[in-house]
């Protein structure tokens, strides 16, 4: 179940209202600030690499500027959204979610969360990143659900991943925040 490819699930705890308020806000310096902070924090571990700085900035500028988004640049907007999440939120510990195939998300039921899509309107993203989110209201429902996974999972690795996910949900619930996930 663990892949040799560098797939990962990266969660952020943040306020969706704050995130949505930045889209189209037209704050002139915001794309520069977000881009700089993201590249400093993620430079060595992010798949977009060093050559993508201009693409990331342009996508951030489009999102913050509030104009029409280019349907051919969906993946750039997805990573720009991740940069904004990094800027306003907290990246949660996800080291156990490195090198995880999509089948693991299906086995754990987390593919349903990822199926929720982006918390903001973006053009179709044909490959990566896959984006999902949970509002605080849905997090509250999850917290109130009886514990215990209904899936018959025998793998201790998968149980560990589910414990990590439950930890993210608990953290977001206690902080009254929402969760946004990126899989790439």
pLDDT digits (tens, 9 = 90+) for 41-66: 876 555 555 456 788 999 999 999 99
Residue 7 structure tokens:
């797939």
**156 burial via Cβ count (<10 Å: 0-12, 13-18, 19+):** exposed
Residue 88 structure tokens:
């306003």
Q: How far apart are CA 56 and CA 91, in angstroms?
A: 19
CB burial of 39-65 (b: ≥16 within 10 Å; e: otherwise) equals: beebeeebebeeebeeebbbbbbbbbb
For residue 19, is pLDDT > 90?
yes
In this prediction the pTM is 0.87
Q: Which is nearest to 171 in space by CA: 118, 145, 134?
A: 134
Q: What is the pLDDT of residue 43?
A: 63
For residue 119, the tally of other CB atoms under 10 A from its CB is 21
Residue 154 structure tokens:
């025998």
For residue 118, give Cα distances in angstroms to 16, 152, 159, 163.
11, 29, 26, 24
The tens digit of pLDDT for each residue in 84-117 reads 999 999 999 887 888 888 888 887 778 888 888 9
Please give the mean pLDDT across all residues of the chain. 85
Under the banding of pLDDT at 50, 70 and 90, the label for residue 170 is very high
φ, ψ of residue 171 in degrees (nearest 5): -60, -45
The tens digit of pLDDT for each residue in 119-162 reads 999 999 998 899 999 999 888 777 666 455 444 455 677 778 88
Q: Which residues pair with 91 in a beta bridge?
A: 12
- Separation of first and last alpha carbons in the chain: 16
Q: Where are the domains of the chain?
A: 9-183
Q: By the 8 A CB rule, do 133 and 181 touch?
A: yes
φ, ψ of residue 127 in degrees (nearest 5): -135, -95
Q: What is the pLDDT of residue 117?
A: 93
Q: What is the pLDDT of residue 152?
A: 47
Q: What is the pLDDT of residue 83?
A: 96
């Amino acid at each position: 179940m663990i892949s040799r490819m560098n797939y990962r699930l990266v969660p952020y705890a943040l306020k969706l209202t704050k995130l949505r308020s930045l889209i189209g806000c037209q704050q002139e310096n915001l794309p520069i600030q977000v881009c700089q902070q993201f590249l400093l924090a993620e430079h060595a571990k992010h798949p977009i690499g060093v050559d993508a700085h201009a693409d990331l900035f342009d996508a951030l500028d489009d999102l913050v500027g509030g104009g029409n988004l280019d349907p051919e640049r969906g993946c750039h907007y997805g990573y720009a959204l991740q940069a904004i999440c990094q800027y306003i939120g907290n990246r949660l510990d996800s080291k156990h979610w490195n090198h995880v195939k999509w089948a693991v998300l299906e086995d754990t039921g987390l593919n349903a969360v990822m199926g929720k899509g982006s918390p903001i309107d973006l053009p179709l993203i044909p490959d990566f990143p896959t984006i999902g989110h949970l509002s605080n209201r849905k997090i509250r429902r999850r917290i109130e659900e009886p514990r215990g996974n209904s899936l018959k999972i025998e793998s201790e690795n998968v149980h560990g991943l589910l414990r990590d996910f439950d930890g993210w949900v608990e953290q977001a619930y206690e902080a009254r925040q929402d969760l946004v996930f990126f899989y790439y």
